[in-house]
Amino acid sequence: MKLGCALGLTCASMTLFIGCEKSSAPAAPPAPASTNAFNPNRAQPKLPTTKLWLGAQELTAELAVRPQEIMTGMMFRQTMEEHEAMLFIFTSADRRSFWMKNVSLTLSCAYIDSDGVILELHDLKPLEEKPVESTSDKIQYVLETRQGWFERNKIAVGTLVRTEKGSLRESFFRRR
């Protein structure tokens, strides 16, 4: 989800990403044939999903991989079900910063390191344009859920996030 290293990249649902990535984005699943061209003024179509496990809890997460997917994220969406989420996948670890521009949903986010371990949890305010910056520079994934989902499901800092294919690294950066 990197276009460059300038001031930052306005990311997904609310993202203003600070940093610079050196490598290209991971191979993304093919976009559905019905996907329209990128439009920063409307919600993007549902993205491909994967199952995530955080301890014993399961989520179905849309995968934001391409720069446009990351920049748009949850913008303009009106609903998110209790066990739905969006996982933002960056090609390398860095400091991250997400905001809620054009996002009226109440969301929480987890800043996750390269090993899939949650390092930080934050609640995000609808339509807030002030970024919520990570304190760590080791963030490679960001997971957005309905606000309070982590607390309701007793998910804390230190929890490991996995997919049906194994670790996040194995799932998204496996050598082909």
- Beta-carbon count within 10 A of 151 CB: 12
The rounded distance, in Å, linking the Cα atoms of 72 and 68 is 6
pTM as predicted:
0.79
First to last CA, the chain: 20
**In terms of DSSP bridges, do strands 139-146 and 107-113 run parallel, antiparallel, or are they unpaired?**
antiparallel
CA distances from 15 to 11, 92, 122, 164, 166 (A): 4, 16, 13, 26, 27
**Predicted local distance difference test score (pLDDT) of residue 96:** 97
The rounded distance, in Å, linking the Cα atoms of 126 and 167 is 31
Which domains are delineated in the chain?
Answer: 9-25+47-169 (2.60.120.1140)
The rounded distance, in Å, linking the Cα atoms of 107 and 23 is 29
pLDDT digits (tens, 9 = 90+) for 85-130: 999 999 999 999 999 999 999 999 999 999 999 999 999 999 999 9
For residue 30, pLDDT beyond 70? no
Give phi and psi for 171, each to the nearest 5.
-70, -40
**Predicted local distance difference test score (pLDDT) of residue 175:** 64
b/e 159-169 (16+ beta carbons within 10 angstroms → b): bebbbeeebbe
**Predicted local distance difference test score (pLDDT) of residue 174:** 81
The token duo for 15 is 């993202």
Mean pLDDT of 150-171: 96
pLDDT digits (tens, 9 = 90+) for 46-63: 999 999 999 999 999 999
The rounded distance, in Å, linking the Cα atoms of 14 and 172 is 22
For residue 20, pLDDT beyond 50? no
The token duo for 70 is 């990351």
Place of tokens 């002030």: 130
